[in-house]
Amino acid sequence: MDLEVCVDSVESAIASEKGGATRIELCSALSEGGITPSAGLISAVRASLSIQQFVIIRPRGGDFVYSACELQIMRDDILEAKSRRVDGVVLGVLTDTNSVDVARMRDLVAVARPLQVTFHKAFDACEDLDRALEDVIRCGVDRILTSGGQPDAIRGAATIARLQKKAGNRIKIMAGGGIRASNLRAIALQTGVREVHSSLSQNTASQSPDQGVGNGPQPYRVLEEDVRAFRSALDDIAREAKLGAPR
């Protein structure tokens, strides 16, 4: 099973690789759900990793309905990421009626190729997830990140399972949203997904009492031991599935 860890720093990216992550999703401004990281950060992470590096392409926080100017920024950011040898990009564009903007997504996917493309959790903002699944497939995307339209993957597990079944081999479904080692087994068994996404991040203020109130927002970091525990839980699930498979 593949583990994707969301990070916003070189240190967290390195910890993710050491802990056993399959790939990282690089963002900035995780407090806003993640926006496109700087070119410098993309390059620094690329130079530090051997695992896959995906980059979020999101010009701002807020909704996923973008102006012509913002779409051009996204195209330029995709090209910038490609020039820095990333393995994939993560994006999503919706219409003002909360459906997948197929035409604009196809344009961005064409710009991104041959990189892999993930449709991020803008998917969960769609009014009709079954229709959204078919629309994303029409866009030529490789995978969808979803919590099943719910605040977290536990509450959305039944919907994720339905989407996984409907998707078949046409597109990968990756579960994300509040997933930790403690609830991973339940989510994996309920949904049948083979890819999971987690931030696994901790606010450093909780560990650094000297960084008191008034010093601004504190950075988040991913700890190697947390990723390792998550990876171990994933491997246990995969081992159980292999032992239980018909011979």
The reported pLDDT for the residue numbered 215 is 59
Q: Within a domain: residue 154?
A: yes
For residue 24, give Cα distances in angstroms to 69, 71, 127, 137.
Answer: 28, 24, 29, 23
Q: Which residues contact 142 (CB under 8 A, 6 or more apart)?
A: 88, 116, 117, 118, 171, 172
Q: Within a domain: residue 188?
A: yes
Q: Which residues contact 123 (CB under 8 A, 6 or more apart)?
A: 92, 100, 129, 132, 136, 144, 145, 146
Confidence of residue 201 (pLDDT cuts 50, 70, 90): confident
Confidence of residue 219 (pLDDT cuts 50, 70, 90): confident
User: Average of pLDDT values for 213-221?
Assistant: 67
Element (H, E) at 107: helix 102-112
The reported pLDDT for the residue numbered 204 is 55
Q: Within a domain: residue 187?
A: yes
Strands 201-203 and 220-222: antiparallel
pLDDT in tens, 95-137: 999 999 999 999 999 999 999 999 999 999 999 999 999 999 9
The reported pLDDT for the residue numbered 212 is 47
Please state, in angstroms and rounded to a whole number, the distance separating the CA atoms of residues 242 and 82: 37
Q: Which residues contact 13 (CB under 8 A, 6 or more apart)?
A: 7, 24, 26, 45, 48, 49, 53
Please state, in angstroms and rounded to a whole number, the distance separating the CA atoms of residues 26 and 8: 6
Count of domains forming the chain = 1
Name the 3-class secondary structure at 201. strand
Check whether 205 has a pLDDT greater than 80. Answer: no
The reported pLDDT for the residue numbered 19 is 98
In eight-state DSSP terms, residue 112 is H
CATH number at residue 154: 3.20.20.380
Q: Within a domain: residue 209?
A: no
**What is the domain range of residue 188?**
2-204+217-244
Q: Within a domain: residue 211?
A: no
Check whether 207 has a pLDDT greater than 80. Answer: no
